Structure 1
Amino acid sequence: MKHTACGEELERLFKESEERRRCLYPNSRSVEKALLRRVEAKEVYSPYPGLFERSCWSAQEYRRLVATRVVKTLAELHPEWVFTSFSAALMYGLWVPYSRLNPIRICAPNASYRRRSKHLWVSRLAPTDVHLEGEANVTGLCQTLLESALDAPVHLALPTIDSALRYLLISREDLLEYAQREGYRRRGIGRARAAFAHADGESENGGESMVRGIIIELGFMPPIMLQAELPDPLNQGHVYRVDMLWELDDGRCVIGEVDGARKYKDADCLKGKTTQDVLVEERQRESRLTALGMPVMRVLVRQIFEPGYMESLLEAFGIPRIGPGVR
């Protein structure tokens, strides 16, 4: 009689892998078959061929955590692999957009397997400055960020680059110098240089960085300052911090605020208030900011990819175009 992995055994294996911060890699054919049956029943999630997670980990808010565990597991299974681009960025603890968590990206100049598949992209470039980061061999930070910027449009590369500057891991000048030296004639280098030139460690989250990236791609004037502090006109000594600030040629200033559900959720956690309380405070805050003579342009993250949304918004608030944009 063939042995079949039971629920208790799978529970034990999942617990062991989670304690090690790894995905579950089956240790026998019977375990693998049991896991595949549960994948079909949507009880178990397979983020990478042969690797498994509890189904609850597939929720959107856990996607970066799962992607990190995938890289760590693959690093253990393939110690010769060197991770690069967004996969390496995860190991550095940088912010990576959901759409760039997969496929896994590695440098393997002498590899015989396919260069690209649904789950794995292989760069034939030799990795430089390889070191251990987050229990995986990764390319140096400059190469990691350059590969990320070559691999994605500005609005998806900028969040990762901004977070590297925010954590003081590197400077904008170092990145531009590296791109000048190592990016010559590489496909997408103009886009990568634009992302490096506009990177700003003052950006507080990926949503704000993506909005700024879209503004740059569309050829509109980017904000002159992030997280600008403005005085409260009714409370001397109190200041309001705004996400973005523009100063236009005609002397007007425009405030940009990036709104997303995560922003309000985080505020609730920090202040112990309901979402309704936070929204009421936001309306009061906005009324006081407009009293300074500065219109407030609110950008909804959930709409930034809708055709024409950002262009119409920027034009309505008088933000000028300054060039053809970056593609």
Structure 2
Amino acid sequence: MTRQLPKHLLFADQTSTAIFLDGRHPSKVSGLHRVRRGTYLDVAEWQAATAQKRYELLVRSTVPQLKRPAPLAHESAAVLLGIPLIGSWPSRVQVLERTRTGGRSSALVVRRATRSMPLFVEVDGILVTSPARTAVDLARTRSFASGLAAADHVLASSLATREELEVELDKTSRSGGHGRARLVVTHADARAESVGESLSRARMIELDLPLPVLQQEFYDEDGFIGRTDFWWPELKLIGEFDGRVKFSRELSPGGDPHEALWQEKQREDRLRRLGNGMVRWTWSQALKTDEFARLLAREGVR
């Protein structure tokens, strides 16, 4: 689990800010963005970085400067483990400490207390809560959709097993958000192939809609057609999350986007000839619960 930092990230020691080799102080050099005290990044790289990457940079630059070292937890563990979130990344680093030794939080660090320390793994020399514990903690403290995306991901990527999720769930039975976390673990599915699919399924569960079959394979007289994100067999209805993203992602480097569109149309035509209906939705539609409910209701999913 190693990840490369941008080449221009400059770390300071505990007592001074970063100094260039030619002796110039960062404040005297244009084109640098201050990640945190003592840590700077090339402005262009910072502007190009995603919210997830920016948070990762904050976490990695904060760990060496902790006055009292502690393992990372919650979103800070997730960002190093590559576990996705739905919603915003926090602005503070999350660490875990025993209740009796827990220190005070600060403007940059949240120190979370626990009665007993869970299992940890090491990512690039940094201790973080195990993938199973991280997913359960996210399910307890974030939205149901974000928790489901995290749990789906750790199962799909073999970072954790369902049994490990259940063990961590039992360990946090007295913690806030336990009921939501249990619902997440109940519905977590390794077949989910994207955060968008997890978000879509979370909305279906929240709306108490009939749950579809995931990753159903379809064949016709010419052979294999493909796998679909969702399928309601009783309605003979196929659901696809953001189909435009799907086939653009599958487009090979240098490939013709018009050819990709044509291939997707042929795929959909073959699926429809089997007697299936088709409904597609985007990220923004899945985020809006009422709009998503109306979209599926028009196709008979109620």
TM-score by length of 1: 0.76
**Which residue among 130, 136, 145 is the counterpart of 2:126?**
136
For the Cα contact (< 8 Å) 1:64–1:101, is it kept in 2?
A: no
For the Cα contact (< 8 Å) 2:136–2:181, is it kept in 1?
A: yes
Q: Match for residue 311 of structure 1?
A: 293
**Secondary structure of the structure 2 residue equivalent to 1:155:** helix
- 1: CA distance between counterparts of 2:17 and 2:131? 39
**Secondary structure of the structure 1 residue equivalent to 2:230:** strand
The yes-or-no answer on 1:53 pairing with 2:41 is yes
**Which residue among 168, 176, 186 is the counterpart of 2:158?**
168
- Report how far residue 241 of structure 1 moved: 1.1
Shift of the 146–216 alpha-carbon distance from structure 1 to 2, 3 Å rule, reads: same
The yes-or-no answer on 1:241 pairing with 2:233 is no
Amino acid at match of 1:83: L
- Report how far residue 144 of structure 1 moved: 1.5
For the Cα contact (< 8 Å) 1:259–1:299, is it kept in 2?
A: yes
- 2: CA distance between counterparts of 1:271 and 1:229? 26
Amino acid at match of 1:72: R
Q: Match for residue 287 of structure 1?
A: 269
Shift of the 299–93 alpha-carbon distance from structure 1 to 2, 3 Å rule, reads: same
For the Cα contact (< 8 Å) 2:156–2:189, is it kept in 1?
A: yes
For the Cα contact (< 8 Å) 2:216–2:228, is it kept in 1?
A: yes
For the Cα contact (< 8 Å) 1:242–1:256, is it kept in 2?
A: yes
Alignment of 1:22-61 (within 5 A): 23-26=9-12, 28-29=16-17, 35=26, 43-48=31-36, 50-59=38-47
Specify which structure has the higher proportion of helix.
1
**Which residue among 172, 178, 183 is the counterpart of 1:194?**
183
- Report how far residue 262 of structure 1 moved: 4.7
For the Cα contact (< 8 Å) 2:225–2:267, is it kept in 1?
A: no
**Secondary structure of the structure 2 residue equivalent to 1:304:** helix
The yes-or-no answer on 1:213 pairing with 2:202 is yes
- Structure 2: state its 5+ residue gaps: none
**Secondary structure of the structure 1 residue equivalent to 2:209:** coil
% identical equivalent positions: 23
TM-score by length of 2: 0.82
**Secondary structure of the structure 2 residue equivalent to 1:194:** helix
- Report how far residue 136 of structure 1 moved: 1.0
- Structure 1: state its 5+ residue gaps: 1-16, 321-327
Shift of the 307–107 alpha-carbon distance from structure 1 to 2, 3 Å rule, reads: same
Q: Match for residue 114 of structure 1?
A: 105
**Secondary structure of the structure 2 residue equivalent to 1:112:** coil
